[in-house]
Structure 1
Amino acid sequence: MLSPTEPASVRKSLPHVDFDLDDLGSDEDRYLDFYRKVAVHEDMLVPLAEHHDGPNSYYVLFDRTATWGHPGMAQTLAVHLQREHGKQTFSFEQAPLPLPAMAQSWLIQRGCPPGAIDLDPELGPPPADEPTRALERRLAGNGDRYAMGYSYTSDDPDDMVIVVVLRALDEQAPSPFRVVVEEVDTETWTHTLREGGFDTAGEALQWCDDRLTGKAGPLPPVRSAATANRPAGVAKAPAPHPPGRSRRALFQS
């Protein structure tokens, strides 16, 4: 996670993204849609990872403008471009996501080879330990097993943290709601990622509230399949939430 507080050595020579669409100008409506959703801040998008495979391009981008947007906005943008040179046009998909590993997962689900979209180690704070690296690999590789219901990104230099609530798509999964927390140590310029398990959306959201206000206790462990007892009445998996919508409503049918 980059931020306005990143060290000057990281900030001074950030790479720029090139979408390579100059010769694809026949579809003005599609260009306008792409501009509004992606390219409007092109000069402020930092490519954390990218892969090009023939007509397909996959990008994990850090949006440097998100810090001035709606409070809590996700700062990572996943983009999949498909060029049609014969027709001089293109199609695209994009998704704002809170964690780079989630953006990698989203792109892998759309055909990017898993080993081809590794993050640039020179950008952003590196993982502080092996548990962080292991959880990031699992999120990138198994992200299609979960739906995101809520996230909040805080780049307060005194407490840089991202909280994410995920819902397991497998109805028999232990701890059907997961909270993933990324914390940045601004002194060592490293980050940690941890996961906790909850039985209900309300419990997961309450823990996030408490973490953002400095009152949270330790994350509860994810229960094993042997001890899982799925609660009744759990709502179906939500789509990523729009800004301003009640968080608890995100987990309603």
Structure 2
Amino acid sequence: MLSPTDPAPDRKSLPEVDFDLDDLDADEEKYLDFYRKVAVHEDMLVPLAEHHDGPHSYYVLFDRTTTWGHPGMPQVLAVHLQRDREKRTFSFEHAPLPLPAMAQSWLIHRGCPSDAIALAPLGPPPADEATRALELRLAGEGDHYAMGYSYTSDDPDDMVIVVALRALDERAPSPFRVVVEEVDTETWTHTLREGGFDTLGEALQWCDDRLAGEAGPLPPVRPAAAVSRPAGLPKAPAPRPPGRSR
């Protein structure tokens, strides 16, 4: 998580995003749509990761304007651009998401190579291997879940992001998950943890309690082996990847 109060890196040294659309203005309606939804605050978008492959560009962006907007809004923006140089037009998809790993997942499942969208060393680094492992899994398995709720708090005294997810496979153990990112401002590192819940209400209540500083430990995610099938029933097929969730 970045914020206007970040001790590192220096805000003046933050990289700038370049969408490379200067010569693609034939479709005025599309350009205006892109401007309103993405580029209106272009000078406040910080590229956390980007990859360019021919006509395709993929971006993970931190939107510094959201900290002054509606409280709790996601601060990460995933953008997929497709350019047609011959027709001088372009199309785009975008999604505001609470965590960079979720933005990586969104882009990977729109054609970006998973090994090409690594995050730049901006913001607090992972505090431990558990955080790294969970971020890697979220980036790779994000299409297994649908986001139901998120809240981003950049309060310097309690920088935290909570996300409630629903497993798309209804037979999954712990069908509702909560992922929580917390920043330690003294060590300038972040941790990412997840917990499993049986109902959406329980997941949302834990999120509310955490934002109020009253939450207990996250309950563990039940392993898949804990779910049994009646004898003789064939194994169910894997769920199909979802379409756009936003």
Supply the AA of the counterpart residue of 1:169. L
The AA in structure 2 aligned to 1:190 is T
User: What's the CA shift for 1:228?
Assistant: 3.8
The equivalent residue for 1:187 is 186
Instruction: State the partner residue of 2:56.
Output: 56
Contact 1:77 1:94 in 2 (8 A): yes
For 2:215, the equivalent position in structure 1 comes to: 216
Instruction: Report the counterpart of residue 247 of structure 1 in structure 2.
Output: none
Q: Secondary structure at 1:136's aligned position in 2? A: helix
The question of 1:119 aligning with 2:91 is answered no
Deviations 1:98-121 (A, max 9, x none): 000000000000000000000002
The one-letter code matched in structure 1 to 2:132 is R
Return the alpha-carbon distance in structure 1 between the equivalents of residues 69 and 179 of structure 2.
Answer: 22
Deviation for aligned residue 1:172: 1.1
Aligned to 1:95: 95
Which shifted more, 172-181 or 9-18?
9-18
Which residue does 1:162 correspond to in 2?
161
Residues in 2 aligned to 1:218 and 1:8: alpha-carbon distance in whole angstroms: 30
Q: How many Å separate the matches in 1 of 2:245 and 2:143?
A: 13
Per-residue deviation, 1:8: 5.0
Equivalence for 1:21: 21
1:147-197 deviation per Cα after TM superposition (whole angstroms, max 9, x unaligned): 000000000000000000000001111000000000001111110000000
Q: Give, in whole Å, the separation in 2 of the partners of 1:73 and 1:186.
A: 21
Q: For the structure 1 residues 159 and 240, does the alpha-carbon distance in structure 2 shift closer, same or farther, using more than 3 Å as the test?
A: farther
State the alpha-carbon separation in 2 of the partners of residues 42 and 154 from structure 1.
22
The answer to whether the Cα contact below 8 Å between 1:101 and 1:137 also exists between their aligned partners in 2 is: yes
Counterpart CA distance in 2 for 1:216 and 1:116 is: 37
- Verify the 8 A CA contact 1:160 1:183 in the aligned structure 2: yes
Aligned residue number for residue 46 of structure 2: 46
- Residue 157 of structure 2 aligns with an amino acid whose one-letter code is D
Give secondary structure in 2 for the equivalent of 1:153.
strand
Q: Distance in 2 between matches of 1:99 and 1:17?
A: 19
Whole-Å Cα distance in 2 between the matches of residues 151 and 171 of structure 1? 21
Q: Gaps spanning 5+ residues in structure 2: where?
A: 229-241
The alignment's TM-score, normalised by the length of structure 2, stands at 0.92
Give the structure 2 partner of residue 145 of structure 1: 144
- Aligned AA (2:91): S
User: What does residue 11 of structure 1 align with?
Assistant: 11
**Partner Cα distance (1:67, 1:12) in 2:** 18
1:80 paired with 2:74, answer no
1:51·1:58 contact (CA, 8 Å) conserved in 2?
Answer: yes
- Give the gaps of 5 or more residues in structure 1: 230-236, 242-253
Percent of aligned pairs with the same amino acid? 83
Partner SS for 1:226: helix
Q: Return the offset for 1:240.
A: 5.9
Deviations 1:179-219 (A, max 9, x none): 00000011111100000000000000000000000100000
> Is the contact made by 2:9 and 2:123 (CA closer than 8 Å) also made in structure 1?
no
Distance apart, 1:142 and its partner CA: 0.5
Give the superposition deviation at 1:227: 2.4
Task: Answer yes or no: is the 8 Å Cα contact 1:149–1:240 preserved in 2.
Answer: no
- Secondary structure class of the residue paired with 1:50: strand
